[in-house]
A and B are shown apart, each in its own frame.
Chain A
Amino acid sequence: MLTVNGLSYRHAGALRPSLLDVDLVLGDGEVLGVIGANDSGKTTLCLVLAGLAPRIVGGTLSGRLSIDGVDAGSLRMHDLPALVGIGFDDPATQLSGVAATVFEEVAFGPANLGVPRDELIDRTANALEALAISHLAERDPARLSGGQQQLVAIASILALRPRHVVLDEPTAQLDPSGTALVGDALERLAGQGVSILVVEHKTDLLARIASRVVALDGGRVVLEGPAKEVLADPALVDLGVAPPSDVRLRRALVTALLDPTQLEGARA
């Protein structure tokens, strides 16, 4: 379980804080969606949760982050990957640059952690299977398409078997089939007790896989609650977030003075 209390963070040299007084709980086996306009602090939140801010990127942090009951400040950087995995939206920069094959690339993380060889091979094979990319195992990661690289990046995180996974727009470069693949993999993962925080613009995806959703605006949490409720909240539009297709459609009917329940029968 990841808990955040009164968290505020300012990037080095920035005039205003990127995160202000954020309270958040990410429970085991839960998928938490994070939405908000583009400069609302979503990426910064991911960096803080993974311990990269302020450790690697500098800046000032106040408030508390505790991972499974332990204060994150007391942990060393290299202890974190086994606890909190993080994926970014740019797949190319997540490649290690020293792996000749996708298999080695995915094995890179646990190899760094000194996982014994047999277990290492096992974990890597499982991670590849979870994202249906076992057929890419012998390919050169640098030569894959952006979408394939993103799947490799996510598999690389899974191979670390962290208890918590933070993903910043993991499907940005993926087509609908890739998006669905990632969505399925995340659902399975949550089913195994891993807690997942996923930042996304694709509210349709969140409607499908998230149990709760949090909305950020100007670094603050402005909405929080069960996914269905938050995603149907009319305030989303003011926050610069596109609601899921069914919410949008229902709203169009209501605006035209039609009964939205007519759609219920067709939804099956």
Chain B
Amino acid sequence: MGPLVLVAVAVLAPAIVAGVLRALVRTVVLLALAIAISVVVINVLFFPAGEQVLFRIGPITATAEGLAFALEVVARIVAISGAITLFYLTTTPAELTIDLERRGVPPRLAFVASSSVQTVPTMVDRAVAITAAQRARGLDTEGSIGARLRGIVPIVGPVILGAIGEVEKRTMALEARGFSRPGRRTLLWHPADSPLQRLARWLMVLAIPVFVLARAAGWLG
């Protein structure tokens, strides 16, 4: 119950406000589906403390307690992946770098944080271009599963090789633009903030020890 309420309040509501609900749901389903399925299967069928039987398949007993437990775990997974996805969908690398730097994080660290977010779209673009080139050389991406699986190396290979090969070039380009100069960079703008958002952030941070204590004290069941 708890995780689901959390998801509704802290993930779905903001996602609707930010207009990313569809992308969020799609991504979370993709991320969490495999784990969710295995969690459900394993716990429904093999939960040791289960008593209320749902059905039997040979020696395997499916229990209601197992299902309840599984759903609880899945709810937590959804909460976590939902939160991460929401962050990724609503934060641009630029905003992240600037805000981190504004708060005193060294530029290099801030850069690492945000360029790892930027890596994904760049890699996707590369993969799309590479897929086109390989298909033009006869790689079959529309045929049998076997054919498509064989296609992984000619696509993933250049994506990774290319990314690694680019490291030196990118490093040089950054150095040539003064990236390693010690001291603060000039910031062009600050991400929009408001007293309300600041309050919300503080409330969220304070909520953590409150919830932890409440749970430990048994108030949340």
Contact = CB atoms under 8 A, between A and B. Distances in A.
Chain A in direct contact with chain B (Cβ < 8 angstroms)? yes
Interface stretch (B49-57, B180-188, B202-210): B180-188
Contacts of B114: 98
Given A82-B178, A114-B181, A142-B125, A100 B92 contact: yes
Binding site secondary structure of chain B: helix
B152 interface: no
A78 to B, nearest CB: 4
A96 B175 contact: no
Interface residues of A, number: 41
Nearest to A101: B94
Interface of B: 92-95, 97, 107, 111, 114-115, 118, 121-122, 125, 166, 168-188
Nearest to A85: B176
6 contacts: A50-B176, A52-B176, A93-B173, A103-B188, A111-B187, A114-B184
Contact of B180 (A77, A110, A117): A77
Contact of A112 (B92, B168, B177): B177
Give the most central of A81, A93, A103, A104: most B CB within 10 Å: A93
A117 to B, nearest CB: 6
A52 B180 CA distance: 13
Interface of A: 47, 50, 52, 55-57, 77-78, 80-82, 85-86, 88, 90, 93-100, 103-104, 107-117, 120-121, 142, 156, 160
B188 A117 contact: yes
B95 to A, nearest CB: 8
10 closest Cβ contacts across the A-B interface? A78-B181, A112-B178, A109-B177, A100-B94, A93-B169, A81-B178, A94-B173, A111-B186, A113-B178, A111-B185
Given A98-B114, A98-B118, A52 B169 contact: no
A111 B188 contact: yes
B186 A78 contact: no
Contacts, number: 98
Contacts of A88: 169, 172-173
A14 to B, nearest CB: 15
Contacts of B178: 78, 81-82, 109, 112-113, 160
Contacts of B121: 142
Nearest to B107: A112
Nearest to B119: A97
A160 B177 contact: yes
Contacts of A90: 169
A109 B177 CA distance: 5
B186 A93 contact: no
B136 to A, nearest CB: 19
A98 B94 contact: yes
Contacts of B115: 97-98
B177 A121 contact: no
A160 B179 CA distance: 12
A137 B181 CA distance: 26
Given A78-B180, A100-B92, A110 B186 contact: yes
B93 A113 contact: no
Nearest to A156: B177
A107 B54 CA distance: 64
A93 B182 CA distance: 23
Contacts of A108: 177
A108 B182 CA distance: 15
Given A97-B93, A142-B122, A121 B180 contact: no
Contact of A57 (B111, B125, B172): B172
